[in-house]
Amino acid sequence: MLKVGLTGGIGSGKSEVARRLAALGAVVIDADRIAREVVEPGTEGLARIVEVFGTEILRRDGALDRERLGSIVFSDAGKLAALNGIVHPLVGARVAELQDRAAEEAIVVYDVPLLAENGLAPMYDVVIVVDAADDVRLARLLELRGMTERDARARIAAQATREDRLKVADIVVPNDGTLEELQVRAEEVWAELSARSGRGVRPR
């Protein structure tokens, strides 16, 4: 099993790269998706978040109000650390469970937004960083996600710098261009991962 850490700043297109690698044959474990699952209504994770942040971070239906919680933690490093302290261990346990299910010869890509921030690079055989300029990422957050400029800049500032992410990269995927260019690069990355795993690229 080849363990690949995939990361990139918010708005970099990391999730798009993950989708394309999955289509090429990777087993993708999405930490963001798991992070949502472990705080669904009725979970231990949501109960602990309410203990720390209060019931005002809940919607009327009892689910987590992610936008409200995000506006609280992304401008306060201490509160962000408290949230991460709750969610990350729960995510880690779920990731381990999914990893155990993967085939021994699999290329497992772990989609980890905060890989650089949390010093997780040593956990992986290969680290891929999806890279885009900050102004490109900001424009995507405003146009594609409908964020305010203030919230978008706060989210970017709360993460590692572009330079710090690139320091942990074994493979860099530039994503300032078109989706066609991204597909070409994804296929090149898949070929490299397949070579590193010692099996070569399987025909699809």
DSSP H or E run through 107 = strand 107-111
**Are residues 4 and 54 both part of a single domain?**
no
User: Mind listing the pLDDT tens digit for each residue in 105-159?
Assistant: 899 999 988 899 989 899 999 999 999 998 899 999 998 888 889 989 988 888 8
Question: Which of 104, 135, 159 delimits the end of a domain?
Answer: 104
Of 22, 14, 27, the C-alpha closest to 114 is 14
- In this prediction, what percent of the chain has a pLDDT beyond 70? 97
Q: What is the mean pLDDT of residues 3-31?
A: 93
Q: Is the pLDDT of residue 88 over 80?
A: yes
- The sign of the torsion formed by the CA atoms of 58, 62, 66, 67 equals negative
Q: What is the mean pLDDT of residues 52-62?
A: 93
**Are residues 146 and 88 both part of a single domain?**
no
Q: Is the pLDDT of residue 204 over 50?
A: no
* 124, HSE (Cβ side, Cα atoms, 13 Å): 26
**Are residues 77 and 21 both part of a single domain?**
no
Amino acid at 10: I
State how far the Cα of 155 lies from the Cα of 152, in Å rounded to an integer: 5
Give me the domain span that covers residue 141: 1-26+106-195
- In sequence order, which residues have a C-beta less than 8 Å from that of residue 65 and are 6 or more positions away? 57, 58, 59
Question: Which of 104, 127, 152 delimits the end of a domain?
Answer: 104
DSSP H or E run through 35 = helix 31-37
Q: What's the pLDDT score for residue 114?
A: 86
**Are residues 149 and 191 both part of a single domain?**
yes
CATH number at residue 64: 3.40.50.300
**Are residues 116 and 190 both part of a single domain?**
yes
Question: Which of 104, 119, 142 delimits the end of a domain?
Answer: 104
DSSP H or E run through 20 = helix 14-24
* 93 burial level (CB within 10 Å; 0-12, 13-18, 19+): exposed
Name 173's bridge partners: 130
**Are residues 97 and 113 both part of a single domain?**
no
**Are residues 47 and 62 both part of a single domain?**
yes
Contact of 115 with 160, CB cutoff 8 Å: no
**Are residues 93 and 152 both part of a single domain?**
no
- The sign of the torsion formed by the CA atoms of 166, 172, 174, 179 equals negative
Mean pLDDT across the chain, nearest whole number?
90
Q: Is the pLDDT of residue 202 over 70?
A: no
Q: Is the pLDDT of residue 203 over 50?
A: no
Quick check: is 147 in a domain? Answer: yes
Q: What's the pLDDT score for residue 201?
A: 47
Q: What's the pLDDT score for residue 184?
A: 95
**Are residues 113 and 189 both part of a single domain?**
yes
Query: How many CB atoms within 10 Å of residue 161?
Result: 13
State how far the Cα of 164 lies from the Cα of 172, in Å rounded to an integer: 13
State how far the Cα of 179 lies from the Cα of 17, in Å rounded to an integer: 10
Q: What's the pLDDT score for residue 95?
A: 84
Q: What is the mean pLDDT of residues 36-45?
A: 94
State how far the Cα of 64 lies from the Cα of 47, in Å rounded to an integer: 10
Q: Is the pLDDT of residue 4 over 90?
A: yes
Q: What's the pLDDT score for residue 199?
A: 57
Quick check: is 202 in a domain? Answer: no
Confidence of residue 98 (pLDDT cuts 50, 70, 90): confident
**Are residues 81 and 169 both part of a single domain?**
no
Helix runs in 74-175, H state only: 77-101, 134-144, 149-158, 162-167
* The model's pTM: 0.73
